[in-house]
Amino acid sequence: MAEPIRTPKGTYDVLPEDQQYQTYIKKAVRHRARQAGFKRIEPPIFENKSVFDRGIGLHTDIMEKEIFTVERKGKTEHKEEWALRPEYTAGVCRAYVEHGMQQLPQPVQLYSMGPVFRYDRPQKGRYRQHFQCDFEMIGISDPSLDAQLINVLSHIFKDLQIFDRLKLQINNIGESENRKEYSSALKDHFAGKERNLCEDCQRRLEHNPLRVLDCKNEDCVILVKMAPKIDQYLSAESIEFHERLLEYLDEYGIPYDKNPNLVRGLDYYNQTVFEFWDQSTGSQNAVAGGGHYDGLIELLGGPPTPGIGFGAGVERIIWHMKEAGVKAPMKDQVDVFVAQLGPDAKKKSLKLIESLRNTGVHTIGALGEASLKSQMRLADKFEATFTLLMGQMEVKNGKIILRNMKAGKQEEIPFEDAVSEVVKLLGKDNLDIYSIKDRLGDFKQESE
RNA sequence: GCGAGAGUAGCUCAGUUGGUUAGAGCAUCCGGUUGUGGUCCGGAGGGUCGUGGGUUCAAUUCCCAUCUCUCGCCCCA
């Protein structure tokens, strides 16, 4: 026997049970996105690495230690280094520039769903490949857009019945000039006190002093308390912007915590930043996070263009749904199990199964040579609603047995009526059909 | 990247103070006289006890390394 192979570290198979949740979540996201005028975009899973270098920033944790680079062996025809996307925003903004979307009516509203990758030690709710839903509004800057975006996300959480478990954390980190000033003020504040900061913060002070603010280290927290606050450095416009946004959130009735220490680890953010946190534990494990990135498009070679967006982690959403006891609807039920005995019945059941399936009935057939007992046991395991049963006798008489599994009752009906009888009992609304009209036409022709 | 714990059947776990063929429940498959499921009864398959090395007459058990998983930190979704 060869060595078994498992999934790479930090990755996992989405098994049918979780697939139900994923499908359910995607559906909620799609509906809310369309209602709000978002269109789907799907950038490639890997990009030129510079997309992320420029956007996310070289001195962020993501780029320093979490980026997955992609190499092609032996060939050097490409000059650029490639990387698996660690998030969506940079790639979507690259697409905005590449396809001249500034020509479209603004704001351009895009959403996306798919895997993103970060090289990190896996733990609860953290994977090397995880699934994200992403929303972006590009081209116009107005607090009402921020509020609308957060509102769409709130509705998705409400649809999935986890909104009450989460709490919105919100902050305004101002313009990059403000932040530069504030950064140097922080440096001044900590000057001479470096030894009291943790090692990480000593390094952060060099490259990104704002990150010292949300350090959890006790000593750092004490020093941060005495540090200057960012709102002293914000422009009047930023303060006004933030106040308006909070007003709009009040208007929507979305509760929030004003969190002056929320800064987020990506360089491209400015103005509004927000995250949805687990309310019960108050843990910093964000289920969704986002903010303004008004300088990003320019960094990627486009005209100065404002934007705002967020990413939401599907694994963490599923975790919360399970914790809250939310069940995803199960749509893979088996409606009919076809059992047969003897070569003639087996042959006839092939077309019968096909007709049932084309009609929209979930059908499984036992086409092995197993005993009828085994076939019935299988029908039971699959929790089939009905079993259609046909042996030599029925074939001879042109009949078939229709058994209601729950009731444990059965009757013999003409073979030709099998499909229509099943449809009648299941109810037309419960058929699994495409909304393509031709398919229904096919069925009518066949059954008539 | 740092710290802690765990790895025995598909799943949940017993067990061996080092000693013949390593167990249970659930799950899977088959059977319980003619062609009928769920309950019940019987049976079968499935593990080189995570991997490699060391100590020993003997290792699944003790020691070391390694891999993987889980939890925490960092950070994020």
DSSP class per residue in A147-166: HHHHHHHHHHHHHTT-GGGE
Q: Which of A25-39, A151-165, A186-200, A365-379 has the lowest mean pLDDT?
A: A186-200
Q: Is the CB of A341 under 7 A from strand B?
A: yes
The one-letter amino acid code at A33 reads A
The proportion of chain A whose per-residue pLDDT surpasses 70, expressed as a percent, equals 91
Q: H or E element: which one contains A396?
A: helix A392-397
Res A16 pLDDT > 60: yes
- What ipTM does this complex have? 0.85
Where residue A74 falls among pLDDT bands split at 50, 70, 90? low
Residue A301 belongs to a domain: yes
pLDDT in the model for residue A445: 47
How far is A266 from A290, CA to CA, in rounded Å? 10
pLDDT in the model for residue A240: 94
pLDDT tens digits for A266-314? 878 889 999 999 877 655 578 999 999 998 999 999 999 999 999 999 9
- For B67, nearest residue by CA–C1' is A9
Closest nucleotide (C1' vs CA) to A126 is: B77
A345 and A319 co-located in one domain: no
Residue A220 belongs to a domain: no
Q: A33 - beta bridge partners?
A: none
Q: How many CB atoms lie within 10 A of CB A207?
A: 13
Q: Is the CB of A67 under 7 A from strand B?
A: no
**Average of per-residue pLDDT across A352-373:** 91
**Average of per-residue pLDDT across A214-225:** 70
In angstroms, what CA-CA distances link A224 with A136, A179, A193, A267, A270?
Answer: 32, 16, 11, 21, 21
pLDDT tens digits for A392-424? 999 999 999 999 999 999 999 999 999 999 999
Res A446 pLDDT > 50: no
What is the CA A332 to C1' B76 distance in angstroms? 34
Residue A311 belongs to a domain: yes
pLDDT in the model for residue A73: 66
A253 and A353 co-located in one domain: no
The conformation of residue A229, written as its DSSP 8-state character, comes to P
Please give the mean pLDDT across all residues of chain A. Answer: 87
Res A231 pLDDT > 50: yes
Answer whether A114's CB lies under 8 Å from A45's CB: yes
Answer whether A389's CB lies under 8 Å from A418's CB: no
- For B74, nearest residue by CA–C1' is A200
A244 and A95 co-located in one domain: yes
Residue A331 belongs to a domain: no
pLDDT in the model for residue A282: 56
pLDDT in the model for residue A77: 60
pLDDT in the model for residue A5: 78
What is the CA A440 to C1' B1 distance in angstroms? 59
A136 and A169 co-located in one domain: yes
pTM of the model: 0.88
A75 and A126 co-located in one domain: yes
pLDDT in the model for residue A292: 94
Residue A79 belongs to a domain: yes
A145 and A25 co-located in one domain: yes
A258 and A152 co-located in one domain: yes
A134 and A263 co-located in one domain: yes
What is the CATH classification number for the domain harbouring A89?
3.30.930.10
Closest nucleotide (C1' vs CA) to A275 is: B77
A41 and A141 co-located in one domain: yes
Tokens of A140: 């116009």
Q: Is the CB of A381 under 7 A from strand B?
A: yes
Q: Calculate helix-pair angle for A176-190, A199-207, nearest 10 degrees.
A: 140
How far is A183 from A230, CA to CA, in rounded Å? 9
The total of structural domains in chain A comes to 2
Q: What is the 3-state secondary structure (H, E, C) of A175-211?
A: CHHHHHHHHHHHHHHHCCCHHHCCHHHHHHHHHCHHH
Nearest C-alpha neighbor of A320 from the set A21, A5, A10? A21
How many CA atoms does the CB half-sphere of A393 hold within 13 Å?
4
Tally: H helices and E strands in chain A? 16, 16
Residue A205 belongs to a domain: no
**Average of per-residue pLDDT across A333-352:** 93
Res A142 pLDDT > 80: yes
The one-letter amino acid code at A97 reads V
Res A183 pLDDT > 50: yes
Q: Is the CB of A84 under 7 A from strand B?
A: no
The one-letter amino acid code at A418 reads A
From A302, A323, A344, the end of a domain falls on A323
How far is A183 from A114, CA to CA, in rounded Å? 35
Residue A275 belongs to a domain: yes
A311 and A353 co-located in one domain: no
Where residue A93 falls among pLDDT bands split at 50, 70, 90? very high
Q: Is the CB of A373 under 7 A from strand B?
A: yes
Res A338 pLDDT > 90: yes
SS3 A225: helix
pLDDT in the model for residue A448: 38
What is the CATH classification number for the domain harbouring A366?
3.40.50.800
Chain B nucleotides with an atom closer than 7 Å to a protein C-beta = 1-3, 28-32, 35-38, 67-77
How far is A106 from A270, CA to CA, in rounded Å? 20
pLDDT in the model for residue A283: 59
Where residue A3 falls among pLDDT bands split at 50, 70, 90? low
A274 and A157 co-located in one domain: yes
A124-128, A202-206, A216-220, A377-381, range with greatest mean pLDDT: A377-381
> What is the residue range of A33's domain?
16-175+235-323
A153 and A101 co-located in one domain: yes
Tokens of A69: 């680079």
Residue A245 belongs to a domain: yes
